[in-house]
Amino acid sequence: MRTERTQVAIVGAGPAGLLLSHLLHRRGIASVVLESRSREYVEQRVRAGVLEQGTVDTLVEAGVGERLRREGLPHHGIELRYGGRGRRIAFEKLVPGRRITVYGQQEVVKDLIAARLADGGPIRFEVSGVAVHDLDSAAPSVTYTGPDGEPVRLECDVIAGCDGFHGVTRPSIPDGVLTVYEREYPFAWLGVLARVRPSAEELIYAQTERGFALHSMRSPEVSRFYLQVAPDENLADWPDERIWEELRARLETVPGFTLATGPVIEKGVTPMRSFVVEPMQYGRLYLAGDAAHIVPPTGAKGLNLAVADVRLLTEALVSWFSTGSAALLEGYSAACLKRVWRAQHFSWWMTTLLHTFDSDDAYGRRLQLAHLDYVTTSEAAATTLAENYVGLPYESDPHD
């Protein structure tokens, strides 16, 4: 078995792992990123597309925001559509100077991969058999098999688990260490990517008796749509014609709005889940992003939480490697979870506000409509939605 050595072994080449590697490199700390998929797969998989203000600022400050600034679509509000009318939540009025930017997660990944490879950063794609060892020791390691079939032991000081909900790092923590908080929802999202110009300039969140729908976009020529469906929905039962028919039924509910249609590029069904593990660390293993927490996509927080985790982990590792102080590393989980639980609540709130839980529950339906009326007519309530949606500012010293 060949032996390699680095300071930080990063499992997973999603946004969390790649950004962590890039930020550490800029601070003089070496890392190796391990990824089971190919570069082509990682760069093409469609995921989130709404970036908080703080996420955009982080990418720009890290020197990987040039294309984001050029091609990203800044948005200063969203529309809540229900009861035959649409009400706009105006970010520019409610949270001046803060906004969201629509820019696909796969584009963030492409930018980060290009930056790491340009810097000579080692990203090992198409590895298999990844396993982590000796997490509670001062000399952890990761073993894997390269695409050429050669077994490798990667010795390191720290392991970062950035390998998502189904990754290998979190299950490697001994039983009884983690507390799991979880909630599954009685519906899923049918996501559709279509080559058609967006029918609106901003995102539309539609609440109807037929179920929830979301009109979003990825570029001036590509639109993204979501439909609330059953959790066990069979994708084969949703030909393109049925998708467009249902989107029209849920979105064409206000006078003058016509949904533009076009070729469907991709579609898939995503279950809705809330999930958090505490703590987000064990020994020399530190979890970040989806490896530690999942939120329903309604609040657009998944990618943004991963960036917030990585910011904190970077500062903690820089402090430890430069001064020997483990104070920030020891407080990493608690610092992350403050933001994670705020985002969990916001995502749960948006989900319960906009989705149909029981079509026969007339009382629940009336409660939703009353709450939507309050959110769209009360400046205080609208401000709460706006400031959480664009992302709360990072704390100046979040480890306190």
Please give the structure tokens belonging to residue 46. Answer: 């469609």
Residue 398 has pLDDT above 50, yes or no: no
Whether omega before 279 lies within 30 degrees of 0, making that bond cis, reads yes
Task: Establish if 386 belongs to a structural domain.
Answer: no
Query: At 11, which amino acid appears?
Result: V
Counting residues of the chain whose pLDDT is more than 70, the rounded percentage is 99
Q: What is the residue whose two structure tokens read 């601070």?
A: 27
Whole-number Å distance between alpha carbons of 131 and 223: 39
pLDDT tens digits, one per residue of 224-275: 999 999 999 999 999 999 999 999 999 999 999 999 999 999 999 999 999 9
pLDDT of 11 higher than 80:
yes
Q: Is residue 377 part of a domain?
A: no
Distance CA 139, CA 210 (A): 55
Structure tokens given for 271: 């279950």
Strand 8-11 to strand 31-34: parallel, antiparallel, or no bridges (unpaired)? Answer: parallel
Using CA atoms, how far apart are residues 285 and 132, in angstroms rounded to an integer?
9
Give the residue among 58, 59, 49, 48 at the shortest CA–CA distance from 101.
49
pLDDT tens-digit series, residues 14-45: 999 999 999 999 999 999 999 999 999 999 88
pLDDT at 396 over 70: no
Check whether 397 has a pLDDT greater than 70. Answer: no
Reported as a single tens digit per residue, the pLDDT across 353-369 is 999 988 778 999 999 99
Check: CB of residue 153 under 8 Å from CB of residue 134: no
DSSP string, 39-64: HHHHHH-----EE-HHHHHHHHHTT-
**Domain at 19, CATH number:** 3.50.50.60
* pTM score of the predicted model: 0.95
Cα–Cα dist 30/49, whole Å: 29
Asked whether residue 313 is assigned to any structural domain, the reply reads: yes
Q: Between 332-354 and 302-323, two packed helices, what is the crossing angle to 10 degrees?
A: 180
> Tens of pLDDT along 113-172?
999 999 999 999 999 999 999 999 999 999 999 999 999 999 999 999 999 999 999 999
Q: Residue 385 gets which letter from DSSP?
A: H
Within-domain flag for 367: no
* Minimum mean pLDDT range among 38-47, 94-103, 303-312: 38-47
pLDDT at 400: 44
DSSP result, 133-202: E-TTSSS-EEEEE-TTS-EEEEE-SEEEE-S-TT-STGGGSPTTS-EEEEEEEEEEEEEEEESS--SSSS
Asked if 307 and 55 count as a contact pair (C-beta separation under 8 A), the reply is yes
Q: Judge whether 220 lies within some domain.
A: no
Q: Is the pLDDT of residue 175 over 70?
A: yes
> What pLDDT, in 10s, does the model give residues 317-335?
999 999 999 999 999 999 9
| Cβ atoms of 288 and 281 closer than 8 Å | no
Helix orientation angle between 332-354 and 362-377, rounded to the nearest 10 degrees: 110
Give CA–CA dist 14/45, Å, rounded. 10
Q: List the catalytic residues.
A: 75, 205, 297, 301, 389
Q: Is residue 196 part of a domain?
A: no
Place of tokens 């990418």: 59
Per-residue pLDDT tens over the stretch 47-99: 778 999 999 999 999 999 999 999 999 999 999 999 999 999 999 999 999 99
Mean pLDDT, the chain, integer:
95
Q: Give me the number of domains the chain comprises.
A: 1
Q: How far apart, in whole angstroms, are the C-alpha atoms of residue 330 and residue 140?
A: 17
Structural domain including 298 reads: 2-75+99-181+273-358
* Number of other CB atoms surrounding residue 236 within 10 Å: 6
Helices and strands (H and E) in the chain: how many:
12, 21
- The answer as to whether 58 is a domain residue is yes
Check pLDDT > 70 for residue 181. Answer: yes
**Pick from 30, 198, 16: nearest CA to 105:** 16
User: CA 86 → CA 9, 81, 202, 382, distances in Å?
Assistant: 48, 4, 12, 14
Domain assignment present for residue 48? The answer is yes
